Amino acid sequence: MAQTYQAQVYVTLRPSVLDPAGTAVRSGLEHMGYDNVEKIRIGKYIEVSLTAESEAAARQQLDKMCDQILANPVIENYRIELQAMAAA
């Protein structure tokens, strides 16, 4: 029987990729007096609810989604947190 899963996907730029948005935010914070901020990296947070036959099947489907549309695997890394939802 299929189970409903809730996933949180965190997408971040690879460390070797420049982050102009993070640089701009850091500069803005510095101008506001937050001169102790050394580095900021901007990323994305995505929530996905899906049904699958198993946790492994859900994770496999999420990996495929991330590789195809949710993240750009050339310049971004992603991390998935997955929980089974309680039956209503």
CATH number of 78's domain: 3.30.1280.10
| Contact in structure between 60 and 13 (CB atoms under 8 Å) | no
Q: What is the percent of the chain with per-residue pLDDT over 70, rounded to a whole number?
A: 99
Look at the chain and report how many structural domains it folds into: 1
Q: Tell me: pLDDT of 88 over 80.
A: no
Return d(Cα 17, Cα 74) in angstroms, integer. Answer: 10
Q: 25-47 pLDDT, tens per residue?
A: 999 999 999 999 999 999 999 99
Residue 17 domain boundaries:
3-84
